[in-house]
Structure formats: structure tokens, C-alpha cells
Amino acid sequence: MFADCTPGPTPIRIGDKWTARIIACLHEGPRRFSELQVPLHMVSPKVLTESLRAMARDGLLTRTAYPEIPPRVEYELTVLGRSLLEPMAAACAWSREHLGEVLGARAAHESRTSA
Amino acid sequence: MFADCTPGPTPIRIGDKWTARIIACLHEGPRRFSELQVPLHMVSPKVLTESLRAMARDGLLTRTAYPEIPPRVEYELTVLGRSLLEPMAAACAWSREHLGEVLGARAAHESRTSA
């Protein structure tokens, strides 16, 4: 759903730098911390922990610790978190269709001002 | 269209702090600098100038100076700028419907952690 929506200088942003990417990673179901680190390979464990904590605080996802050995912790979108998928899809569709135009306008502006 | 979409701690953001508000102000037609200052009454002339310049650079609006006395300058959304109205409306609808839940989740978290 969001695979071809690469992050970039899009004017539409969902949450902080990682929020939308975490939501995209969780939209098919619960994931463990290590399962989020793989697709989000640029994120440090510290930043991922902070992002997940902020999203849990805002009611966008839940953190469930299962009393197993070794312990298992899963993150899952709440109904509220899932409700962001729709505006995210709209933002993603916009970027797919128009981001090239923004970058083109910027490049044209650069070449005008540096000439 | 966006009158009841007050800015706030929404997870969805369009551009920098003022971009979405400027687009909302321009969606009915071209406006002069002074006509933008009125609805955006918290913005300083310096910041408004910078925001308008960045948006022109990105191809979202045009700046037209009419050779009149006194000089008249108008800002108008481009087709690209207008294309942001749709994802903005989706973001706005989300905030209207769900922002209270985010704030409620935050408040509940606050009271749990401060107890």
C-alpha cells in the first residue's frame, strides 16, 4: 500500500519523521521491535523507542509485553492509529503524482537564481 | 472549507507552519500580501514573505507584480498548489474527527505517569 511512497521532501507530513513509516509498517498487523527495525533500517533503536512511545502516548498504537521466555513485545495499531491510513493514502497519492513537479520547480528556480 | 480546521497538535502537517494556512487563504482566488496578513494575524511580515517565497520556489503559487501606482502584488495558487487542497481536506477531516482522541490519550497518559 505504501511501498512506493518513498519519504522525501514532500510538503505533507504525518507526525514526526518516523510516524508515517511506522504506521505503514504496522498496517498489516502487529510487529515486534526487531521486525520494525528491518524495514526502517535508517532508524536507531533509541529513536525508534522514542517514536513508538510517543505514538503509544497519543493513542495511535499499543505495546503488549507477553510473559514468555524470551520476552516478546508487540506493537499494534489502534483503531485511532488505523484511521490515519486514509489521509496517509491521500498524501501518498499526492506525492506520487506531484512531487516531481515540486522538485522540477525547485530545480528551475535554482538555475534561475544561480544564473 | 478550512475555517473550522484550527491548527493544533495534529499529526498531519502540510509544509511548514504556515503553508497549509496560506493555501487555505488563497483557495478562493488571488490575494495581496496585506489580505493574507489579516486572516494569518499571528504571522510576522518577515515569516510571511519567506513562506510565500518558498511556496513560489516549489511551484505552489505565483507572485504577480502589476505595474500600477501604488504597485500591486498578488499571490495566486498554481494548479500544483490547488492539487494540495484534496489531501489537505482529508487531513482536515481527520483532525476534526480524531484530534480529540489524540488529546484525550495524551491527557490519560499524563495522569497515569504523574500519579
Do A94 and B87 lie within an 8 Å CB cutoff?
Answer: yes
**Residue B25 carries which side chain, given as an amino acid letter?**
C
Do A102 and B80 lie within an 8 Å CB cutoff?
Answer: yes
Q: Which three cell numbers stand for residue A13?
A: 507530513
Beta bridge partners of B73: B65
Of B14, B19, B90, the CB nearest to A86: B90
Task: Tell me what pLDDT residue B47 has.
Answer: 93
Q: All domains of chain B, ordered by start, with CATH?
A: 19-114 (1.10.10.10)
Q: Select the residue from A12, A97, A111 to test the B interface by mutation, using most B Cβ atoms within 10 A.
A: A12
Task: Tell me what pLDDT residue B60 has.
Answer: 95
Q: What share of chain A in percent tops pLDDT 70? A: 88
Looking at this predicted complex, what is its ipTM?
0.77
What digits encode the pLDDT tens for the residues B25-78? 999 999 999 999 988 887 899 999 999 999 999 999 999 999 999 889 999 999
Q: Among residues B69, B75, B30, which one has the least CA distance to residue B48?
A: B75
Task: Tell me what pLDDT residue B43 has.
Answer: 87
SS (H, E, C) chain B: CCCCCCCCCCCEEECCCCHHHHHHHHCCCCEEHHHHHCCCCCCCHHHHHHHHHHHHHCCCEEEEEECCCCCEEEEEECHHHHHCHHHHHHHHHHHHHHHHHHHHHHHHHHHHHHC
Do A83 and B94 lie within an 8 Å CB cutoff?
Answer: yes
CB contacts < 8 A (A, B):
87
- Chain B contact set for A94 (CB, 8 A): 83-84, 86-87
